[in-house]
Copies of this chain bind each other. A is one copy, B any other.
Amino acid sequence: MSGSRLRDVAARAGVSIRTVSNVVNGYAPVAATTRERVERAVQELDYRPNVLARSLKRGRSGMLALVVPELDVPYFSELARAIITQARLNGYTVVIDQTDGDAGRERELILRSSRAAVFDGVLLSPVALSAADISEHNPSVPIVLLGERIAASPFDHVAIDNVSAAREVTEYLFSIGRRRLAAIGDQPYETGETAQLRTQGFREAHISAARELDERLIVGCPHFHRSEGARAMSALLDGGGPTPDAVFCYNDLLAVGALRVMLSRGIRVPEDIALVGFDDIEEVRFTTPSLTTIAPDKTRLAELALQRLILRINTQDFSGPEELFVSHRLIVRESTTHGRQ
């Protein structure tokens, strides 16, 4: 069926060719139910836009850059996978590069990508950039920010509602009877906005529930790696402050490191200390105990970011950058529930 054309897709989906084109090329927004019908028809007919012809006609490369801090951090590789899949559906190829969370490298990649006009657009998950860093970028190459925001930047931004997710975790831990909650992962400096939003949600839930919060139970982490989770957990246990009966880690890798430290000290999870992560990477479905976590809708995140980027590419209208949110849900597993299977 590889000879399918726009017209066949339109007939199968029962919509106009213009509507199919709006979905596939992102010329204009399309209602969710219609979009789903078109996407199903695209998949059923195995329709692939003729990228090369399209690029030649429009003077575009058909390539998008995905710039992430670290490709071997599971959250980013799972997100990259979702983005590659979505981009392919839209006839784009994705070039991936990683910055190691270094501001200079992030800036270099953005400027190089946009100046050389090799890429039609850039998806950026920034760690270290400020708005000033990218003021020189070529404005005709659109950028969409994933997850982390750049304060006061003129770019669309797709993320989950971090404050409400953190509040949900905190309220859940109170609801199962935990009283001294610790948080691992705060980043109280300019480029740590996502972490700060999670700390904000953690604090707000304490205030709403009229619970006291011991500041020694909030532990910072410059990077969200397993080794830092282990270090932070050791610091919590050895620091002379109160021992928590629940720990909320700002990503799953931190939780994996914290879990390792607790188990190696004979601390029972969740009986002695309950544990919650963030991201729902596959790894934490297989730890013992399996990990309670926040699952962002990664597929939808990829879809929305691509849609927005393609719309900007095609319209070349960069006015009114938007904040777009995708949903998340709390997945309860063994690390917070006593009755383990």
Contact = CB atoms under 8 A, between A and B. Distances in A.
A316 interface: no
A287 B287 CA distance: 7
A256 B283 CA distance: 9
A286 B264 contact: no
Given A84-B97, A226-B282, A288-B288, A74 B71 contact: no
Contact of A81 (B71, B260, B290): B71
A80 B73 CA distance: 12
Contacts of A95: 63, 93-96
Interface residues of A, number: 34
Contact of A72 (B70, B81, B94, B264): B81
Contact of A286 (B80, B116, B257): B257
Interface string A285-311: 111101000000000000000000000
A256 B77 CA distance: 19
A208 interface: no
Given A72-B74, A80-B71, A98-B84, A260 B282 contact: no
A22 to B, nearest CB: 26
Determine which residue in A63, A97, A257, A263 has the highest number of CB atoms from chain B within 10 A of its CB, and name it. A97
A341 interface: yes
A237 interface: no
30 contacts: A52-B116, A70-B81, A71-B71, A71-B77, A71-B80, A71-B81, A71-B84, A72-B74, A72-B77, A72-B78, A72-B80, A74-B74, A74-B77, A77-B77, A84-B96, A84-B98, A93-B95, A93-B97, A94-B95, A95-B96, A96-B96, A226-B283, A230-B286, A256-B283, A257-B286, A259-B288, A260-B286, A260-B287, A260-B288, A287-B287
Given A72-B74, A80-B96, A259-B288, 12 more contacts: A63-B95, A71-B71, A71-B84, A74-B74, A81-B98, A84-B98, A93-B95, A93-B97, A96-B96, A226-B282, A226-B285, A260-B290
